[in-house]
Amino acid sequence: MRKLQLVLVAGAASILTALATVAGFAEAQSAVPPSNTQNPAVVGTAQDGELLIAKDGEWAGTDPMTFTYQWQRCNTAGTCADIANSTATSYRVATADVGSRLRARVVARNADGSLGEATAQTAVVVPPAGATRLQDGKTSIPASSVSLPDRLVLSGLQFTPTVLRSRQPFTGRFRVTDTRGYVVRDAIVLVTGVPLGWITPSREVTTNVDGFATIQLVPTTRLRLVRGGSMVMFVRARKQGDDLLAGISTRRLVRVRTASPATA
């Protein structure tokens, strides 16, 4: 009886060993590192402000499999470098990318290894729709090409005369750009005196191709002409159709100096 028990135990051990061997072989067979069967790709328009999306492509290998991404900027020689902090599946094309090409490097990982594949490069990145090169080297775009998260900026102003010594009309020129540095045409500019009533209410004026809106401003008798004083104005720039309190609009307080008429 004892001999029979020993035989049974030995037989069970052999079966367990065989099962373990088969399981180990199966596990070894199933542990396959990632391999790419269809290249990843970039979807979207290579234009400043547009959103690009990286598609994983097709991969073979043991599941589960995870993916990470790195966006790269490529020069005309084809050399590519990582773009800092750009590791999501999507990428918002930036002004710094204009004139370059973009691509995404997709890395697949599983328990047995990892493999990275880069997408094909995009077309050369171009400025926003409607872009026009100005003689001063700046690029002019229509206000319709500006959208959040970018905004309008009142970046320049000129007054003629530079000091008010009378209540005669004077001219203000207000330049509108956006947060990327583009000059913005067709932006709508409004100027209001602060406090109200110090200048005659003016109509809204649209910026020209150079980004400037030229507005004639007429002081009222309430304007105090004193040495070292100032005429303060509230300036707003907006895009046609935007909510006056939202959208890409911008606001700024500006001033022009005043002087006593006796010092003219």
pLDDT digits (tens, 9 = 90+) for 172-231: 999 999 999 999 999 999 999 999 889 999 999 999 999 999 999 999 999 999 999 999
**Can you give the pTM of this predicted structure?**
0.76
For 131, residues 6+ apart whose C-beta sits below 8 A from its C-beta are 139, 140, 141, 145, 182
Closest alpha carbon to 187 in 150, 229, 113, 241? 241
Question: What is the pairing mode between strands 170-178 and 41-43?
Answer: unpaired
Q: How many CB atoms lie within 10 A of CB 171?
A: 12
* Domains, the chain, with CATH or none: 35-118 (2.60.40.2700), 132-263 (2.60.40.10)
pLDDT digits (tens, 9 = 90+) for 110-167: 999 999 999 999 999 999 999 999 999 999 999 999 999 899 999 999 999 999 999 9
Question: What whole-number distance in Å separates Cα of residue 252 and Cα of residue 197?
Answer: 18
Task: List the structure tokens of 28.
Answer: 């070894």
DSSP secondary structure string for all residues of 107-141: EEEETTEEEEEEPPP-SPPBPSTT-EE-TTS-EEE
Question: What whole-number distance in Å separates Cα of residue 104 and Cα of residue 73?
Answer: 9
pLDDT digits (tens, 9 = 90+) for 68-101: 999 999 998 989 999 999 999 999 999 999 999 9
